[in-house]
Amino acid sequence: MIALVLFGSPGSGKGTLSQYLTEWMGVPQISTGDMLRQHIKAGTAIGSSVSGRMRAGTLVSDEVVNRLVEERISEPDANKGFILDGYPRTVDQAEEMMRLAAGRKAEVVVIHLVVDYNVIISRLTGRRVCPVCGTLYNAVSRPPKTPGKCDLDGAALEVREDDREDVVRARLEEYERRTMPLIEFFRSRETRLFAVEAGNESPEQVFRSVQADLKNVFEMAGR
């Protein structure tokens, strides 16, 4: 059983990579960002409490995020493993994640997607999302067939609040300050950690690199 952590700055490609990995591994992707946005859209108490922080590009409290993750990985589809996208983001969250994984006898494997911050800013500020189906586009790397319209349902594309340039820069500063120490945390725990260049490579190339690393892990585990 693998608890796969996709680790990287906002816009590093974690969401796209997790879609490839979910299909290949047959385990669910768990995105804390998606879960929080769903709460905001539904107007829940959690959504109301975190919406301001997400608009400002700052992190949601460890207590809230840890609870969401614990509930999600307890669902039946995560019994054979899971992919964590956007979690953990702090050392305290990492401590809790290691505890949750150990309780499920899951081996933690970390994939660190390395991307230059200038590339990140270009990616995120050019990103657009369909409010109906959630499909992501990018004005440069993945434009829709009709400018401003979703290919699937024709809905007008939107800029997410957390993809505005001022928010992106705030998110990157927060990431650098609070999340980068996780690399040293994982190394100190002797966790399997693979660094993968993900700046100029296509999503397919990044997936193939990660797939090769994971195949080695599975072979060493006798899978």
Annotated catalytic residue within 104, 160, 164, 178: 160
Residue 159 in domain: no
- The answer to the question of residue 96 being in a domain is yes
105 is annotated as an active-site residue: no
Closest CA to 160 of 41, 26, 1: 41
Catalytic residue among 123, 128, 171, 192: 171
What parts of the chain have a pLDDT lower than 70?
53-58, 221-223
pLDDT at 222: 62
C-alpha separations of 65 from 13, 31, 83, 153 in Å: 21, 10, 15, 32
Q: Which of 37, 123, 127, 128 is catalytic?
A: 127
Q: Measured on CA atoms in the order 192, 198, 202, 205, is the torsion positive or negative?
A: negative
Angle at 123 between CA 119 and CA 124, to 5 degrees: 120
Q: Is residue 57 part of a domain?
A: yes
Token pair recorded at residue 155? 């809905």
Give tens-digit pLDDT for 129-159.
999 998 889 887 789 999 999 999 999 999 8
Q: What is the Cα–Cα distance from 108 to 105, expressed in whole angstroms?
A: 9
Contacts for 27 with CB less than 8 Å, ≥ 6 apart: 2, 4, 77, 78, 80, 81, 82, 83
Domain-embedded: residue 35: yes
99 is catalytic: no
* Structural domain for 51, as ranges: 2-114+193-220
Q: What is the sign of the dihedral through the CA atoms of 88, 92, 96 and 98?
A: positive
81 is a domain residue: yes
Catalytic residue among 14, 37, 123, 128: 14
Instruction: Based on the residue annotation, tell me whether 142 is a catalytic residue of this protein.
Output: no
Q: CATH code at 209?
A: 3.40.50.300
Sign (positive or negative) of CA dihedral 162, 26, 202, 209: positive
Give the pLDDT of residue 25.
Answer: 94
Residue 149 among the catalytic residues: no
Catalytic residue at 189? Answer: no
In a domain, 105, yes or no: yes
* Within-domain flag for 46: yes
From 37, 89, 128, 192, the catalytic residue: 89
Adjacent-strand bridge partners of 129: 136, 158
Report yes or no on 211 lying in a domain.
yes
pLDDT score at 223: 53
pLDDT for the residue numbered 24: 95
Q: How many domains in the chain?
A: 1
